[in-house]
Amino acid sequence: MQAYGAWRVGKCDDAAAYAIWKSGCCRRLTAALLSARGVRTPEEAAEFLREDAGLLRDPMAMKDMDKAVSRIRAAVGKRETVAVYGDYDVDGITATALMTAWFRRQGLRCIPYIPERLTEGYGISEEALSSLAAQGVTLMVTVDCGVTALHQVRRASELGMDVVVTDHHECVGELPPAVAVVDPHRKDDEYPFKGLAGVGVAFKLVSALEGPGTEDQLLERYGALTALGTIADIMPVTGENRVLIRRGINMLRTREYAGLDSLMAAIFVDKSRISGTDISFSLIPKLNAAGRMGRVRVAFDLLMAEDRREAQRLAGELCAMNTERRNVEDRVFREALDMLGDARHLEEPIVLASENWHHGVSGIVASRLAEKFGVPAVIICLEGEEGRGSCRSYGDFGIFDALDDAKEELTSFGGHELAAGLTLRRDRVDALRQRLAAYYRNHEGDRPQQHILLDFCVEDPTYLTLGEIEALKLMSPWGVGNPPPTLCMRDVVAEALIPIGGDRHLKLVGVKNGLKFDCVFFGVSVRELGIHPGSLVDLAFEPGVNDFRGNRTVQLLLRDVRPSRMPGDPSVGMARRFRSGQSLQPMERAILLPNRSDMGRVWRYLTRRARRFDEETATLLPDIALRSGVPVPGRVLVCLWVLDELGLIRLTESEGIMEITIPRFEGKADLSKSALLQNLR
């Protein structure tokens, strides 16, 4: 079963929510969500909900933007041949398409260049520079790359090309000697919004070139591309990005785009109602497939297509590539699982290598393994004596620092805390595995229990009507900095539990205050949930709408289900009486006495969840009872006391809070040495 974390429930400011609702800018549920996220006044709410172009800041406030504009305008005036150099992810592809389209609207010959992931790798190559120079390029504009390309920019100058760098990645060390370096992360750049994607920086450059007052026109022309790239790069959906994404989605719904319209039709996305979720989970994977499978030009050509028939052909090709990517990914994932054998839980990072694996899917497979086993994962694709790997972290573990500690085993590496890439010699794979394992043991520490962050608890179920939930779209698009609303509702009667999808998922019918709610829990079966019809439960969920054959109804998408708080559970009282030295009846002792299987279930559940728990006892005990399959909270408490007695865990309780820490333990515990168990028998 999936591992769920402790709930961290925010609080709705009732007074603020009421004032926001009474102002008329939104409905009750939206007002409550805004207040839970720190909005305190109707004026603040109105500002948050704005989507007009007036929120976009002056692009000329970005460092070097004046230099970039001057050089590009000179190129337009002299009718120079220009190049746009991008990256093979969706942010880079959309940024390349945006700048290429703008240059061609000016009547210039513009050569787009996007390197292939499998043969060229990330960044600017000297071979590409030589090719562009041979084609007469005198100005190259980079998008979504270039801020670390010192040597390549110097080489471009030697070949007679000026370079304008636009990027959004961190600036480390010396900047490249370009005509201009436009990047909001420059240490000397005071531009207030740092969350722009590469395509967002490209949009700001075009805005600066077109001049003040053209923002609305540019959003109509390039908004769809900007929204796609910004969503794909998982940038914060706040500030300027919220305007760029929201307006771009509106453009996707209302304007005609030969390429994107053909792609939406091919994957059965309703253009008139497309959402950020549709873009994230339907459009972007198809566009990304081109780069992953080494044919990035197909995605670029689709975005630039004007002929509907050609666009339909390209959309079909992208869908076929995505199917191929998915098949390759599944094969690599299965082979990785085979290498791990019968492992159910791992205590160190996964490091696997093969000659038969496709580098384009290595990052996805590493992510799936990290999520499945709860440890960092490295997938390495070997070719000859070399290997290229993708790394994904898990929890709060910093994978970049771990690679830095093992850098003697690597040819090169780069990335950040959660994801990284590396190259190494084939004969260093085992050494890397050992170094990462040692680093992980020394730095994993007391890995905390994962938390489920909930905006607030819905006390009044009448907030969850179809109209209220549909009105939440006013706060969209959702993403980093503005996540989808996640709420909870306590003391709900689980009236019915229905298997769906071949018992891989379930439907729960909940009842509270006489109101019924259909809930869906994906990836959890009825058996795994462990709840029986009639149980009183707490639900954590995302409020949603089910649209079936035109019939729209409320549907809660469950994130977690747990027994409602049971502070007065009689078995817990029995256990505490026993611990205090009071006598128990034989039947009470039988209820509390765990067998070896009970002890094993509780131990396995704890170690698979975290190395440290910190939660209310009245919530944690019934939750462990449910998840571990030991159904009596008092018996679970006895199991915890025994584990603490044997040194397998460290357990403390204070003021209703239970803390559990799990130190590393090797060998087997001898239950016969437990004085607690002997006394209970």
Per-residue pLDDT tens over the stretch 643-677: 999 988 899 998 888 999 888 766 677 888 888 99
The answer, yes or no, to whether residue 30 has pLDDT greater than 70, is yes
pLDDT range class, residue 386, cuts 50, 70, 90:
very high
Strand partners, 413: 422
- The separation between CA 2 and the C-alpha centre of its own chain, rounded to angstroms, equals 17
Check residues 501 and 264 and name the one with the higher pLDDT.
264
Q: For residue 81, give the DSSP letter.
A: E
d(CA 241, CA 191): 14
Query: Which residues touch 435 (CB under 8 Å, ≥6 apart)?
Result: 405, 406, 409
pLDDT range class, residue 521, cuts 50, 70, 90:
very high
Confirm if 17 and 34 have CB atoms less than 8 A apart. yes
> Smallest Cα–Cα separation from 290: which of 83, 94, 82?
94
Which region, left, alpha or beta, applies to residue 160 given φ > 0 means left and ψ of -120 to 50 means alpha? left
Q: For residue 61, give the DSSP letter.
A: G
Q: Taking the alpha carbons of 517, 526, 614, 673 in that order, is the dihedral positive or negative?
A: positive
The CA distances from residue 190 to 144, 197, 215, 421, in Å, are: 20, 17, 21, 31
Q: Across the chain, what does the average pLDDT equal?
A: 91
Q: Which helix (H) or strand (E) holds 425?
A: strand 419-425
Selection from 365-374, 446-455, 483-492, 541-550 with the highest mean pLDDT:
483-492
What does the radius of gyration of the chain's CA atoms come to, in whole angstroms?
28
Q: Looking at 564-656, which runs of residues are DSSP E strands?
A: 612-616, 650-654
Which region, left, alpha or beta, applies to residue 342 given φ > 0 means left and ψ of -120 to 50 means alpha? alpha
Q: DSSP 3-state assignment of 306?
A: coil
d(CA 623, CA 627): 6
Confirm if 499 and 512 have CB atoms less than 8 A apart. no
Query: In this predicted structure, what is the pLDDT of residue 166?
Result: 97
The total of other beta-carbon atoms located within 10 Å of residue 534's CB is: 10
Which CATH architecture best describes the domain 6-49+452-563? Answer: Beta Barrel (2.40)
Query: In this predicted structure, what is the pLDDT of residue 345?
Result: 62
Report how many helices (DSSP H) and strands (DSSP E) the chain contains, helices first. Answer: 26, 20
The answer, yes or no, to whether residue 448 has pLDDT greater than 60, is no
How many residues comprise the chain? Answer: 681
- Please compute the mean of the pLDDT values over residues 435-446 and round it to a whole number: 79
The answer, yes or no, to whether residue 374 has pLDDT greater than 90, is no
Cis bond upstream, residue 663 (ω within 30): no
d(CA 650, CA 631): 22
> Smallest Cα–Cα separation from 153: which of 97, 80, 201, 167?
167
Query: In this predicted structure, what is the pLDDT of residue 5?
Result: 63
d(CA 620, CA 5): 10
Confirm if 392 and 350 have CB atoms less than 8 A apart. no
Confirm if 57 and 65 have CB atoms less than 8 A apart. no
What is the edge-to-edge ordering of all strands in the sheet holding 110-113? 110-113, 81-85, 137-142, 162-166, 180-182
Strand partners, 298: none
Q: Assess if CATH 3.30.565.10 describes domain 55-255.
A: no
Q: Is 309 exposed, middle or buried (0-12, 13-18, 19+ CB in 10 A)?
A: exposed
Which CATH architecture best describes the domain 570-680? Answer: Orthogonal Bundle (1.10)
d(CA 164, CA 515): 61
Q: Where are the domains of the chain?
A: 6-49+452-563, 55-255, 342-443, 570-680
d(CA 620, CA 613): 9
Q: Which helix (H) or strand (E) holds 68?
A: helix 65-78
- Please compute the mean of the pLDDT values over residues 322-337 and round it to a whole number: 94
Confirm if 365 and 351 have CB atoms less than 8 A apart. no
Per-residue pLDDT tens over the stretch 545-590: 998 877 899 999 999 998 887 666 789 999 999 999 898 898 999 9
d(CA 413, CA 403): 7
pLDDT range class, residue 532, cuts 50, 70, 90:
confident
Query: In this predicted structure, what is the pLDDT of residue 450?
Result: 66
pTM score: 0.81
Task: Establish how many alpha carbons lie within 13 A of residue 600's alpha carbon, considering only the half-sphere containing its beta carbon.
Answer: 4
Of 254-268, 273-287, 411-425, minimum mean pLDDT range? 411-425
> Judging by DSSP bridges, how do beta strands 551-563 and 536-548 pair with one another?
antiparallel
Confirm if 128 and 145 have CB atoms less than 8 A apart. no
pLDDT range class, residue 446, cuts 50, 70, 90:
very low
- Please compute the mean of the pLDDT values over residues 415-442 and round it to a whole number: 88
> Smallest Cα–Cα separation from 621: which of 662, 651, 583, 588?
651
pLDDT range class, residue 3, cuts 50, 70, 90:
very low
The answer, yes or no, to whether residue 187 has pLDDT greater than 50, is yes
- The separation between CA 491 and the C-alpha centre of its own chain, rounded to angstroms, equals 30
The answer, yes or no, to whether residue 680 has pLDDT greater than 80, is yes
- The separation between CA 447 and the C-alpha centre of its own chain, rounded to angstroms, equals 20
The answer, yes or no, to whether residue 2 has pLDDT greater than 50, is no
Per-residue pLDDT tens over the stretch 198-217: 999 999 999 999 999 999 99
Check residues 148 and 15 and name the one with the higher pLDDT.
15
Q: Which helix (H) or strand (E) holds 138?
A: strand 137-142
- The separation between CA 117 and the C-alpha centre of its own chain, rounded to angstroms, equals 22
The answer, yes or no, to whether residue 1 has pLDDT greater than 50, is no
Per-residue pLDDT tens over the stretch 269-318: 999 999 998 999 999 999 999 988 889 999 999 999 999 999 999 999 99
Of 79-88, 321-330, 653-662, minimum mean pLDDT range? 653-662
Tell me the fold of 342-443: Diaminopimelate Epimerase; Chain A, domain 1 (3.10.310)
